[in-house]
Amino acid sequence: MKSLIAKPVAVVVLLFARAITAVRPFWHEGRLPRRRSIFFANHSSHGDFILIWAVLPPRLRRRVRPVAGADYWLKSKLRSFIGRDVFNAVLIDRNRDARTMDPVESMGEAMKEGSSLILFPEGTRNQSDASLQPFKSGLFHLAALHPDFELVPVWIANLNRVMPKGEFVPIPLICTVTFGEPMHLADGEDKDMFLERAREALLALAPKKAAE
């Protein structure tokens, strides 16, 4: 029954997201990824992955799974339905002491099954004044384990102003989703070097004021 409801709900979410944000995607050199990808993005709102998902063309949207915190998306039956059934999210338990499966392993299983991922390497929403928080190590480990995947930086602009923290009614505002040049882990590149390069690739896509 849930699977029958999930598809029309996905369409409603898609149309609503596009209507309230008038979102515009910008692809690097106008080129869509040719291979399975990890779309890694800045994170300021629980709606971030929805906006990326909404601008992907159908052939990419059908095979992409967002990575999200289980503590938020399993908090109620409605959130659980949206996270699990509508978006087929890879839900990560962020409680190190309680979780039974390593997050990288969970994401890797989804990738082995043929899914692309939407990932937020900061690990949690950025509520600070900094453009980006430090990256967690997950992106590095996934890049090392799955070198056949393209790593695509994605900058989401203005969504935190559409749904400010603590507000429940969205404010209509034009948002943009900018996809950068795909990257890969270089031979001999260590974790710190790679994460800094990935961070810089993401910041390079930010509007000038956001990157300062």
Confidence (pLDDT) at 174: 76
Helices (H) and strands (E) in the chain, counts: 10, 7
Bridge partner residues of 25 (DSSP):
177
3-state SS, one letter per residue, for 170-211 = CCCCCCEEEECCCECCCCCCCHHHHHHHHHHHHHCCCCHHHH
pLDDT at 2 over 80: no
CA dist., res. 88 & res. 199, Å (int): 27
Element (H, E) at 144: helix 138-145
pLDDT at residue 28 greater than cutoff 70: yes
- The Cα angle at residue 44 between residues 43 and 50, in degrees rounded to 5: 70
CA 27 to chain centre: 16
Greatest Cα pair distance, the chain, in angstroms, is: 50
Residues 6 or more apart in contact with residue 203 via CB below 8 angstroms: 131, 132, 211
Amino acid at 139: L
- In this prediction, residue 159 carries a pLDDT of 65
Name the region of 66 (left: φ>0; alpha: ψ -120 to 50; beta: rest).
Answer: beta
Question: Mean pLDDT throughout 138-149?
Answer: 96
Question: Lowest mean pLDDT: which of 22-26, 82-86, 169-173, 176-180?
Answer: 169-173
Q: Which of 46-55, 61-70, 120-129, 158-167 has the lowest mean pLDDT?
A: 158-167
Q: For residue 167, is pLDDT > 60?
A: no
What pLDDT score does 209 carry? 54
Per the DSSP assignment, residues forming a β-bridge with 168 are none
pLDDT at 207: 86
Lowest mean pLDDT among 55-59, 125-129, 203-207: 125-129
Identify whether the C-beta of residue 198 lies closer than 8 Å to the C-beta of residue 141. Answer: no
Q: What DSSP state is assigned to residue 36?
A: -
Give the pLDDT score at 212. Answer: 52
Element (H, E) at 27: none
Q: Is residue 129 pLDDT above 90, yes or no?
A: no
- Whether residue 124 is predicted with pLDDT greater than 70 in this model: the reply is yes
% of the chain residues with pLDDT over 90: 63
Strands (E), 54-200: 64-69, 90-92, 116-119, 150-157, 176-179
- Tell me the torsion sign for CA atoms 186, 96, 160, 65: positive
Of 52, 64, 5, nearest to 26 by C-alpha is 52
Tens digits of residue pLDDT in 185-199: 999 999 999 999 999
Q: What is the DSSP string of 9-54?
A: HHHHHHHHHHHHH--EEE-GGG---SS-EEEEE--SSTTHHHHHHH
Global confidence as pTM: 0.89
